[in-house]
Structure 1
Amino acid sequence: MAATLPRLVRACTVAVATVAATLSSVSVASADVTPMIVGGTRANINDFKYTVYLASSSGSQFCGGTLVSATKVVTAAHCTVGRSPSSTRVVWGREDKQSTAGTVATVTRIWVHPSYTSATRGFDVSVLTLGTSLPGPYLPLATPQDTALYAAGTQTTILGWGTTRSGGSASRYLLKANVPLTSDATCRTAYGSSFIQSAMVCAGFPNGGVDTCQGDSGGPLIAGGKLIGDTSWGRGCALAGYPGVYGRIATYHAAITAQL
């Protein structure tokens, strides 16, 4: 059975220009959960300008994120816990990781939800403060009143530069895919007590085939023009019966807003 892992990769020694060719050498940073977009297609960065990726100071991409204001990015806590601002960069406006397009912003502060311990226990949310103001558009946060956006069957968009299959190579380009939200009962059947309804939401097809994967952690789950989730964890990638698990942004709305 495939391992249940956070959807994070840390490319500590790989330059952006060679990340696609050398991703097999990077390691998964946590052993309790797994997300590039599996079954996706190329996305135009101009259509999703709020989608960013996190990189090391040497330029290696390891997670995704969402620009929610001029200087704030929402991502997953498991992407940033233990990292220093000086070792972290946010890359905005760059569809092709091998290009020099867009802006590489420094990070001046990293906030990790104080209750976070691991992705499978919830609170998997983090806010980065940037040293550079970035232009919009910014993606609004789902609020506790946005219950309709979390209904089973709601069509969502996922985005990222991660691997296209579990254990595969990272994508050079930004990819996108559409997946429906599952019911909480379906997610609980898949993951048992590891699924926490108040903290998480699941998305995927019953037969799998489309999902986030390693390297997509922290990236957006979008519905109704709002950020409703951040890519968190799952068992393998795109497996039948195992949807992707995302942090439920509405639950953390107050905590995130306090950081903005």
Structure 2
Amino acid sequence: MAVKSRRTLLLASGALLAVAAVVVPVVAGAASADPASANQPRIVGGDKASLSDHPYAVYLTDGGGNQFCGAVIVSSTAVATAAHCAKAVAKQEMHVVAGREDKRTDEGDVLSVSKIWISKGYSDPTQGDDVAVLTVRGQLDYRPAKLPDSGDAAAYSAGTQATVLGWGRVADGGARSDYLRSAQVPVVSDSDCRSDYSMYDQKTMVCAGYEKGGVDACQGDSGGPLVVGDTLIGIVSFGDGCGKAGKPGVYTRVSAYVDDIQAQAKSRIF
């Protein structure tokens, strides 16, 4: 099974900058000029989405302005993303792009990153703890996503309809999306996900997708949000291909990290 993170590999000055994960996350892909984007997933089987409905959806770019992952606003000064995205590009080269629905425009805000927190248990996506919080320089004047209660089980019940958002590939190995896309996917039971992925850890992961496939996150979508309403229940982490039958997307279970995210997302005091 070729399990890959859903982040795009970026090449800069001939050096490999990014993703060495074994799983494919489902976030929007990087800019079409990026030759390594083929390894990054995008929303498969979804539709064009609006930031007026999901103002907390943002994406990350490298020093060349290439989109390589997604993220989600959790406070006026911070975004949450996947740990494998936070480790993909040096802090001084990373930027958060907010309020830009179409990547071809210059709308919204581009903010540099002043601090990166990565879950101390992270090693690679398939081992869990695939979560990070980026503190930005400046203000994110957009409505943040809500965080679930740490003990919230209802949003993770099998069959719950959730929405995944990103600018990644629209097909496995396909081109990247220029604009934000979304797809509806049902939460998968822990027992079913464990049968699909032997490394599945129900304490730190959650799966979403259809048994028949066809709808999923893809390369470039890593780090992006999985929401129920406006509540963030998952962060795109990895998968086996994009939209394959019997291979749902695997997401970081946000409820397991609420305290850490809130601690890192607190507004700075000057």
Q: TM-score, normalised by structure 1?
A: 0.91
Give the superposition deviation at 1:22: 3.4
198-207 vs 74-83, which moves further: 74-83
Aligned counterparts of 1:27 and 1:180: Cα–Cα separation in 2:
26
Runs of 4+ in structure 1 off by over 6 angstroms are none
Q: 1:250 aligns with which of 231, 252, 255?
A: 255
Q: 1:138 to 1:121 in 2, by over 3 A?
A: same
2:38·2:174 contact (CA, 8 Å) conserved in 1? no
Q: 1:54 to 1:200 in 2, by over 3 A?
A: same
Q: 1:237 aligns with which of 236, 242, 252?
A: 242
Aligned counterparts of 1:64 and 1:12: Cα–Cα separation in 2:
18
Q: Deviations over 1:59-98 (max 9, x none)?
A: 1000000001001000000001253321100000101111
Aligned counterparts of 1:228 and 1:155: Cα–Cα separation in 2:
11
2:23 is equivalent to residue 7 of structure 1 = no
2:58 is equivalent to residue 61 of structure 1 = no
Which residue of the partner structure matches residue 31 of structure 1?
none
Percent of residue pairs bearing the same amino acid type: 46
Which residue of the partner structure matches residue 89 of structure 2?
83
Question: What secondary structure is seen at the aligned counterpart in 1 of 2:197?
Answer: helix
Q: Deviations over 1:160-208 (max 9, x none)?
A: 000011121110110011000011111011011x100101000001100
1:11·1:26 contact (CA, 8 Å) conserved in 2? yes
1:50·1:139 contact (CA, 8 Å) conserved in 2? yes
Q: 1:205 aligns with which of 204, 210, 217?
A: 210
Q: 1:13 to 1:99 in 2, by over 3 A?
A: farther
Structure 2 counterpart of 1:233, one-letter code: F
Question: What secondary structure is seen at the aligned counterpart in 2 of 1:181?
Answer: strand
Q: 1:22 aligns with which of 33, 38, 46?
A: 33
- Structural mapping, 1:154-193, within 5 Å: 154-192=160-198
Structure 2 counterpart of 1:22, one-letter code: A
Q: 1:59 to 1:73 in 2, by over 3 A?
A: same
Give the superposition deviation at 1:50: 0.5
1:23·1:169 contact (CA, 8 Å) conserved in 2? no
2:11·2:36 contact (CA, 8 Å) conserved in 1? no
Structure 2 counterpart of 1:9, one-letter code: T
Give the superposition deviation at 1:45: 1.6
1:10·1:61 contact (CA, 8 Å) conserved in 2? no
Give the superposition deviation at 1:231: 0.2
Aligned counterparts of 1:184 and 1:42: Cα–Cα separation in 2:
30
Give the superposition deviation at 1:12: 3.7
Q: 1:48 aligns with which of 54, 79, 82?
A: 54
Unpaired runs of 5+ in structure 1?
A: 29-33
Question: What secondary structure is seen at the aligned counterpart in 1 of 2:72?
Answer: strand
1:143·1:251 contact (CA, 8 Å) conserved in 2? no
Aligned counterparts of 1:140 and 1:97: Cα–Cα separation in 2:
25
Greater fraction helix: 1
1:35·1:234 contact (CA, 8 Å) conserved in 2? no
**Root-mean-square deviation (Å):** 1.6
- Structural mapping, 1:145-156, within 5 Å: 145-156=151-162
Q: 1:131 to 1:23 in 2, by over 3 A?
A: same
Aligned counterparts of 1:104 and 1:80: Cα–Cα separation in 2:
17
Aligned counterparts of 2:36 and 2:118: Cα–Cα separation in 1:
27
